[in-house]
Amino acid sequence: MPKIKTCRAMAKRFRVTKTHKIVRRQAGKSHLLEKKSQSRKRSLKKRTFVDNRDINNLISKIPYLYKK
């Protein structure tokens, strides 16, 4: 049985914490920043967790995300 290929674009965007939560960047920080307030841009800098409903989609794209 061959190894499953990892989607490299997805692997670069997600990380796993020690408590096995998946961390992602927040959307909305790439363009149209002039009309967003400083506090809004500061809060968009922070990382956030992937919702539990989306984890199965991620694991199909990044099968070796959780190291054994």
Q: Number of folded domains in the chain?
A: 1
In 1-68, the DSSP E strands lie at 15-16, 22-25, 47-49
List the CATH number of the domain containing 51. 4.10.410.60
Residue 13 corresponds to which tokens in the numbers above?
A: 């965007």
pLDDT digits (tens, 9 = 90+) for 22-67: 999 999 999 999 999 999 999 999 999 999 999 999 999 999 988 7
Could you list the residue range(s) of the whole structural domain that residue 8 is in? Answer: 1-28+36-68
Query: What is the length of the chain?
Result: 68
Q: 62 near 36, Cβ under 8 Å? A: no
pTM for the full predicted model:
0.79
Residue linked to tokens 């694991």: 59
Sign of the C-alpha dihedral computed for residues 14, 58, 51 and 66 taken in this order: negative
Side chain identity at residue 36, one-letter code = K
